[in-house]
Amino acid sequence: MSTERGRQTKRQWLLMQALKNRNGANVDQLCNLLKVHRRTIYRDFEILADLGFKIQKDQDQSIVRYRLEVSQDVSVTPDVTLNLYSRNIKGEDHENS
């Protein structure tokens, strides 16, 4: 596993863990937790959505929070980790072509 792809997979795994919290998190909190820019968080949301995870957006006054949809019982298993890794490898292959 390339170092960059490993970091992406770990980051996306940590993102899913943060989104499992019933209160969710806002993008600034996620950026601070994962030490990335806002755009990276939104790209990771897209990747997770492509993998079938439903990310719910909740707005309370001026605060927007994101969390995994309540109906999803998500355990970040080795299968999920391998799917994230596979998705990252496919992205790497696409970028190199």
57 contact partners, CB below 8 Å, separation of at least 6: 64, 65, 66
pLDDT tens-digit series, residues 10-36: 899 899 999 988 889 999 999 999 999
Most confident of 3-12, 55-64, 86-95: 55-64
Residue range of the domain that includes 45: 3-96
Cβ distance 24 to 67 under 8 Å? yes
Cβ distance 76 to 13 under 8 Å? yes
pLDDT tens-digit series, residues 50-83: 888 899 999 988 899 999 886 655 555 556 666 6
pLDDT value at 96 more than 70: no
pLDDT band at residue 85 using 50, 70 and 90 as cut-offs: low
60 contact partners, CB below 8 Å, separation of at least 6: none
Q: Structurally, how many domains does the chain consist of?
A: 1
Give the model's pLDDT for residue 51. 85
CATH number of the CATH domain containing 23:
1.10.10
